[in-house]
Amino acid sequence: MFGRSPKLVALASLIGVAVLAGSLPGPALAADSQTATPTIISTPGSSPLYVADPALYKANGLAKARGGLGAYRDQVTRQIVVVMPSPVAASFTATDAASVAATVTVRRSAFDSSSIASMESEVEALHAGLVGKQAIVSGYDISQDQFTIRSNARASLFAGFMAEHPGEVTYTYGDVSSYNRDNDNPPHWGGATLDRPYPTPWCTAGYPVRVGSTTYMVTAGHCFNPGDSVVGNTGWNWGTIISRNGYPDTDVELIGGSTYEGAIYTGYSSHQWVKGYVQSLVGSSPYCLSGWASGNNCDYTETADNLTETFSNGNTTSGLVQLAGPHTGMPGDSGGPVYATNGNAFIFGSVVGGSGCNFFTCITYLEPYTRVQSVYGASLVTG
């Protein structure tokens, strides 16, 4: 019975293709045959400067003084590589190399300081095309001899720039911003910390829905009262409680008045885009729970559905789904999203409570998204 895969319902017929974020390719690390001896360089009137690789430090300074782009240590050969513009009159001389007291290789580059500065200005102009939590980190990578861009904006934003500089630009998709579940600026994501208007973490944002033409954020109905103001853990305004229809039989309420996007935190700062929802299927697994109190935990199995529970606050809620797993929802996780994933998130529902652990099995209850559909006539906001 257990171990059946969740039934994923993709919206707009999109299962979604995961865009893998990764680091820039680089050579494998080899044994260091030229181990540098760290040293401290003292300059009169200044604080001591700790230098882990004195030879590289000297080569880098000499290269830039000669009009070059700098130097780096090759991680395979362990030799120092000095990068000089080509064509250029300036050069890194044999005398310079000898003074470094290490094996030095000179490599020519099509880049120079002025072309790099020009490219940085071009990318700066592209910031006007960013939306929401999108950001860009860019610059010249001397070891790759490439102008690199890392951004959570789609590659299409940089298509023109890359066409103007063929073979010179490496783009990597990935998160670069400082937002996280405790510092979630608009448009807001599920899984973030929710507070009352004083700095005490209270509940967790669930997932965004659309009712009519208006977008809201779901959380647990027992978290706030209608009309309450809701803020994030660092003071970002989330709006107010607009509705909690059917409460406490349905333990859900809607936050409105800000902007909300189809994504949920699946770690402190990592996220997944919402692509659809999950239908109840007893015995299906695995599911994950994202909450500010317990973080992101997976390996939950649906063990029962359509339950009615009376909680310690005296509220009786019906239509609940029971999950069993290695962790139980903790105080503060209420409202947090429960989801299945294939690299994108498929919403199952939101946490409303738990009943502790028996040996290695812990019980958590969720309000399924399908009830939100029914009670509010809502549809998921996807990303």
User: Within this chain, do residues 141 and 209 fall inside the same structural domain, yes or no?
Assistant: no
Q: How many domains does the chain have?
A: 3
How does DSSP assign 276-294, residue by residue?
A: EEEE--TTB--EEEEETTT
Higher-confidence position of 55 and 217:
217
pLDDT at 34 over 80: no
CA nearest neighbour of 148 among 178, 125, 116, 175: 116
User: Within this chain, do residues 105 and 119 fall inside the same structural domain, yes or no?
Assistant: no
User: Within this chain, do residues 229 and 331 fall inside the same structural domain, yes or no?
Assistant: yes
Higher-confidence position of 132 and 323:
323
Residue after which a domain boundary falls, among 124, 157, 173 = 173
Burial of 376 (0-12, 13-18, 19+ CB in 10 A): buried
User: Within this chain, do residues 96 and 223 fall inside the same structural domain, yes or no?
Assistant: no
Q: In this structure, are residues 62 and 99 in contact, taking their beta carbons and an 8 Å threshold?
A: yes
User: Within this chain, do residues 256 and 378 fall inside the same structural domain, yes or no?
Assistant: yes
Question: Quick one: average pLDDT of 183-202?
Answer: 83
User: Within this chain, do residues 161 and 183 fall inside the same structural domain, yes or no?
Assistant: no
Residue 248 lies in a domain: yes
Residue 83 lies in a domain: yes
Higher-confidence position of 39 and 169:
169
User: Within this chain, do residues 202 and 267 fall inside the same structural domain, yes or no?
Assistant: yes
User: Within this chain, do residues 58 and 141 fall inside the same structural domain, yes or no?
Assistant: no
Residue 256 lies in a domain: yes
Q: What is the pLDDT of residue 20?
A: 22
pLDDT grade for 177, boundaries at 50, 70 and 90: low
Question: Quick one: average pLDDT of 116-132?
Answer: 90
Residue 22 lies in a domain: no
User: Within this chain, do residues 183 and 167 fall inside the same structural domain, yes or no?
Assistant: no
| Beta-bridge partners for 254 | 218, 243
Domain that holds residue 204: 178-383
Residue after which a domain boundary falls, among 173, 189, 222 = 173
Residue 13 lies in a domain: no
Q: What is the pLDDT of residue 90?
A: 64
pLDDT at 312 over 50: yes
CATH number for position 336 = 2.40.10.10
User: Within this chain, do residues 62 and 154 fall inside the same structural domain, yes or no?
Assistant: no
User: Within this chain, do residues 257 and 140 fall inside the same structural domain, yes or no?
Assistant: no
Q: What is the pLDDT of residue 31?
A: 25
Rounded CA-CA distance 274/211 in Å is 17
User: Within this chain, do residues 232 and 126 fall inside the same structural domain, yes or no?
Assistant: no
The predicted-structure confidence for 2-31, as pLDDT tens digits, reads as follows: 344 554 554 432 222 222 222 222 222 222
The predicted-structure confidence for 59-117, as pLDDT tens digits, reads as follows: 888 998 988 999 988 878 888 999 999 766 568 888 888 888 888 989 999 999 899 99
Distance from CA of residue 338 to its chain's centroid?
Answer: 18
Residue 18 lies in a domain: no
Residue 134 lies in a domain: yes
Which token pair is 353? 């409570």
Question: Quick one: average pLDDT of 114-126?
Answer: 92
Q: What is the pLDDT of residue 51?
A: 55
pLDDT grade for 56, boundaries at 50, 70 and 90: confident
In this structure, what DSSP letter does residue 4 have? Answer: B
Residue after which a domain boundary falls, among 134, 155, 173 = 173
Q: Residue holding tokens 């890392």?
A: 150
Residue 48 lies in a domain: no
Cis peptide preceding 331, ω within 30 of 0: no
The predicted-structure confidence for 226-242, as pLDDT tens digits, reads as follows: 999 999 988 889 999 99
Residues of the chain with pLDDT > 70, as a percent, come to 83
